[in-house]
Amino acid sequence: MRRIIRHKAFGQGDMTSFAETSIQYLKGVGPARMKVFERLGVSTIEDLLYFFPRRYEDRRKLTPILDLKPGEWQTVVGVVTAKGGRRTFFNKKHVFELVLADDHAKVYCVWFNQPYLENYFHPGDRVVLYGRVDVFKDRIQIVSPEYEVLGEGDEGLSTARIVPIYPLTRGITQRYLRRVVHACLEAYAGALPDVIPEDVRARQKLEPVSESIRQIHFPEDQASRDKAERRIGFDEFFLFQVSVILRRISLVQKLGTAHFMPPAFFERFEKAFPFRLTGAQKKSMAEVSKDMSMKRPMLRLLQGDVGSGKTVVSFFGCLAAVTNGKQAAIMAPTEILAQQHYETFVRYFEDGPFGEVRTALLKSGLKKKEKEALCAKIREGVVDVVIGTHALLEEGVEFKALSFVTIDEQHKFGVKQRAVLSAKGEGPDILVMTATPIPRTLCLTLYGDLDVSVIDEKPAGRGTVKTYHFTGEQADGVYKRVAEWVAKGTQAYVVYPVIEESEHEDRKAAVAMYERFCKDDFKNFKVGLVHGKLPRAEALRVMAEFKRGKLDILVTTTILEVGIDVPNANVMVIEHAERFGLSQLHQLRGRIGRSEKNAVCILLGDAQTEDGRRRLEAVVKTGNGFKIAEEDLLIRGPGQYFGRHQHGLNELRVVNPLTQIDVLEAARKEAMLLVKSDPLLKTHRVVRDTICKRYPEYLERVLAG
């Protein structure tokens, strides 16, 4: 927990005081609001200054209602003249309608499943709405627009300008947030310290930081905002890069094992598989073997779309270690995946072309005795390859001679876990595998501490995956088609975002739908259900049944994302697709199309926003994971893309690194210059203190002393 000073003493231009002064001293923020702010991750002045808008609305252009054009996203202002709520006859959905009028015309607004809006709006309220205009039964309407009731006195912040739109949480409105942020800027922005060394600032022609923070929140115009974004982006990238570079230097200074691989090694390895390795797999293996043959530890990121065959490359590294008399470990993010890797490895190598390879599966469900026995074996070196989950990270797990480590699905683990695992060997070679594609330009910079291999080729002989989008209303028809396909022998997944109908009543939960499917749509088939709250053993059992073909249809929540490999499953329905991230959809889709047969992925859902619509379109249009990743990053920004708190990148507060590649590169160049001239940051105390605080996991040992 962070300690927050609760008095108002405030040192001029000192970042520490910004980071330690509670926001409760701002006008309008009392103890109750503090709690709400905490949900947004904001408790200090610094947090709030860097709590950036999600997007902006140009309300300098308000469209008169009479001029609204169907199909376009527009902003209107008007007065509420009527409102009302009801439930639909068929499915009892709640519908709330509002009539908004200006001097010449009126527009209808409709929201579904938000009954609380009935009490939110009042006739006579002046309201700003932003949304996509359409025509329904001859009337002009906007479905689920963004809304804001205008009050007296804050017109200046909320209308007739470029208006910031912040991420919200319950109990806070845009209008309120704008007022508080504005007050905070007035009081503190002027005293913001500048952490970037002066020579760097001059060379890069950076704007002053105080002004940039102001412009990020309340931009005068597009150009000022761009400049401000560049400045803030530079700061963030620069500090992050310095950390990454320092970390890399400290890692490669260690001495590990120089593995020896005779020429026959490759041939023997290839022959173990019933298929031919792809060119991309061979290329990655060559890169891995070159790294592994050197004494300095390998630090390599292996990127490849789901199903591209990354596991083979990992096995290659394991066998290199084992034939050199050392041990190897593979850490997977879920038990199901660990189990799968284990089974695959045993199938090909336990008693294969490399003689006996003693392999063990380490999972958290083991009984105490079993676990102790296994740990003893690992410690004594009686086990060569250990495959497991994060259970591998536990203290009791010690190796005799660990020289190769694979971390599968990197974005589920943090830099810290990487460090813990590698500390169990002596400078072991590390292969980090991820199916979350990262655009090349970004990758070079963001994973500056890793070298990169890419598998950009799918194994031959795979069918195609076609993707379609249907709306929620068309669901019944979709289920019918799925039933037809399953009747012909394929297996199918139906995927849901959540497991219970608690949060939103419209969310068709996996459990409820499973019951409906069994009774109705899929009553002629065997249907299974897997979700996150199911006991582990039960989930594994159901998945195993599906894999063995004992079940025809598997209803599941997202745990399957990194889960099973079932070649005969060639149909996937993703419900509420609009609630998933783009890359997540792509990952899910990667679970089908794993055999020579063609596969179909159906996205069911109603996009509520323009972003949402773009997201679904992008997934329908392209099967290229890298393109999708780029689009995803553009739409959502890095925080959401990579998941929270798992990557130094999440700490970056810039709006969007993809649009700022040039800034990224400039920052990286400057960071390298700095580290070269002052490797321990002795004459750059401010930089040093700031990054130690912000990226401790990168620097724990690096700058010690």
| Residue 312 engages ligand ADP in binding (rule: CB under 6 A) | yes
Strands 139-143 and 106-112, bridge-based pairing? parallel
| Residue 617 engages ligand ADP in binding (rule: CB under 6 A) | no
Q: Which residues, in sequence order, are CB contacts of 15 under 8 Å at separation 6+?
A: 46, 192, 193, 195, 686, 690
| Residue 438 engages ligand ADP in binding (rule: CB under 6 A) | no
Q: Which is nearer to ligand ADP, 109 or 455 (CB)?
A: 455
| Residue 306 engages ligand ADP in binding (rule: CB under 6 A) | yes
Q: How many CB atoms lie within 10 A of CB 515?
A: 14
Q: Among 116, 136, 275, 468, which residue sits at the site for ligand ADP (rule: CB under 6 A)?
A: 275
CB of 696 to ligand ADP, least distance (A): 31
CB of 108 to ligand ADP, least distance (A): 48
CB of 486 to ligand ADP, least distance (A): 22
Range 444-473, binding ligand ADP (CB under 6 A) = 459
Q: Among 435, 529, 585, 616, which residue sits at the site for ligand ADP (rule: CB under 6 A)?
A: 435
- Closest by CA to 281, choosing from 272, 270, 290, 291, is 270
| 64, 81, 133, 145, 547 from 97: Cα distances, Å | 20, 11, 15, 11, 48
d(C-alpha 521, C-alpha 573), whole Å: 14
| Residue 359 engages ligand ADP in binding (rule: CB under 6 A) | no
| Residue 136 engages ligand ADP in binding (rule: CB under 6 A) | no
Query: What angle, 0 to 180 degrees and rounded to 10, lies between the N-to-C axes of helices 335-345 and 536-547?
Result: 50
Q: Mapped to the 3 state alphabet, what secondary structure does 555-601 carry? A: EEEHHHHHCCCCCCEEEEEECCHHHCCHHHHHHHHCCCCCCCCCEEE
The span of 115-123, 130-138, 186-194, 301-309 binding ligand ADP (CB under 6 A) equals 301-309
d(C-alpha 511, C-alpha 498), whole Å: 9
| Residue 310 engages ligand ADP in binding (rule: CB under 6 A) | yes
| Residue 270 engages ligand ADP in binding (rule: CB under 6 A) | no
Q: Which residues, in sequence order, are CB contacts of 231 under 8 Å at separation 6+?
A: 206, 207, 208, 209, 212
Burial call 341-366: b when 16+ CB within 10 Å, e when fewer: bbeebbebbbebbbeebebbbbbeeb
Q: Which is nearer to ligand ADP, 409 or 521 (CB)?
A: 409
Q: Among 204, 308, 334, 445, which residue sits at the site for ligand ADP (rule: CB under 6 A)?
A: 308
Dump strand ranges (E) for 93-218. 94-101, 106-112, 126-136, 139-143, 146-150, 162-165
Q: Which is nearer to ligand ADP, 435 or 443 (CB)?
A: 435
| Residue 197 engages ligand ADP in binding (rule: CB under 6 A) | no
| Residue 378 engages ligand ADP in binding (rule: CB under 6 A) | no
Phi, psi of 407 (to 5 degrees): -115, 110
Q: Which is nearer to ligand ADP, 281 or 584 (CB)?
A: 281
Q: Among 565, 678, 689, 700, which residue sits at the site for ligand ADP (rule: CB under 6 A)?
A: 565
Helix (H, G, I), strand (E, B) or coil at 400: coil
d(C-alpha 90, C-alpha 51), whole Å: 43
The span of 299-307, 353-361, 552-560, 656-664 binding ligand ADP (CB under 6 A) equals 299-307
| Residue 278 engages ligand ADP in binding (rule: CB under 6 A) | yes
CB of 158 to ligand ADP, least distance (A): 47
The span of 68-76, 160-168, 307-315, 608-616 binding ligand ADP (CB under 6 A) equals 307-315
**Site string (226-265) toward ligand ADP, x via CB under 6 A:** ----------------------------------------
CB of 279 to ligand ADP, least distance (A): 9
226: exposed, middle or buried (C-beta count within 10 Å: 0-12, 13-18, 19+)? middle
Strands 351-352 and 465-470, bridge-based pairing? unpaired
CB of 564 to ligand ADP, least distance (A): 10
Q: Which is nearer to ligand ADP, 217 or 594 (CB)?
A: 594
Size of the site for ligand ADP (CB under 6 A): 17
- Helix ranges, 132-278 (H): 155-158, 174-188, 198-203, 209-217, 222-252, 263-271
Range 572-611, binding ligand ADP (CB under 6 A) = 594
Q: Which is nearer to ligand ADP, 309 or 497 (CB)?
A: 309
Q: Where does this chain bind ligand ADP (CB under 6 A)?
A: 275-278, 281, 304, 306-312, 435, 459, 565, 594
